[in-house]
Amino acid sequence: MKKSTLVLIIITATMLVTSGVGTWWVMRKNDNAKIAKVYQNDTLLYEIDLSKVEKPYTIEIKGENEKLNTIEVRNGEIGVVSASCPDKLCVNMGFAGDSYLPIICLPNDIMIVVETEGDEFDAKT
């Protein structure tokens, strides 16, 4: 066996092991409890354990000048399904089930953050 072939085999094996460990770590992390925190004007309104939601339900949050956001809570995820703001960016963000990207509605000053139990960072830092 040539030396270059052996080096390629070692590199390939290392990459496979690394990707396997990475996949295991991500899958293990998603098994933890997911807590959704809904803020308005930097005030915590709701703290919901998404892993314990059995039936989907909605929450309505009223803002200034009768502005309204409707939030749907499902098992493992949360999202804004309707908003009275003109751009509807928060609705277009879809549902969040992880802590990687918060849902924000700037006109109504609403922020939804999903924290996984054991997270080292949160969306505000």
Question: For 29-40, how does the pLDDT look when each residue is reduced to its tens digit (9 = 90+)?
Answer: 555 678 999 999
Task: Using the predicted structure, report yes or no on whether residue 115 has a pLDDT greater than 70.
Answer: yes
Q: Are residues 27 and 86 in the same domain?
A: no
Tens digit of each residue's pLDDT (9 = 90 or more) over 58-113 = 999 988 778 899 999 998 889 999 998 888 888 998 888 876 788 998 888 899 99
Q: How many distinct structural domains can be found in the chain? A: 2
What is the structure's pLDDT at 120? 53
Q: Are residues 80 and 101 in the same domain?
A: yes
The 3-state secondary structure of the chain reads CCHHHHHHHHHHHHHHHHHHHHHHHHHHHCCCCEEEEEEECCEEEEEEEHHHCCCCEEEEEECHHHCEEEEEEECCEEEEEEECCCCCHHHHCCEECCCCCCEEECCCCEEEEEEECCCCCCCCC
Q: Are residues 40 and 80 in the same domain?
A: yes
Report pTM.
Answer: 0.67
Give the residue numbers spanning the domain of 52.
Answer: 33-116
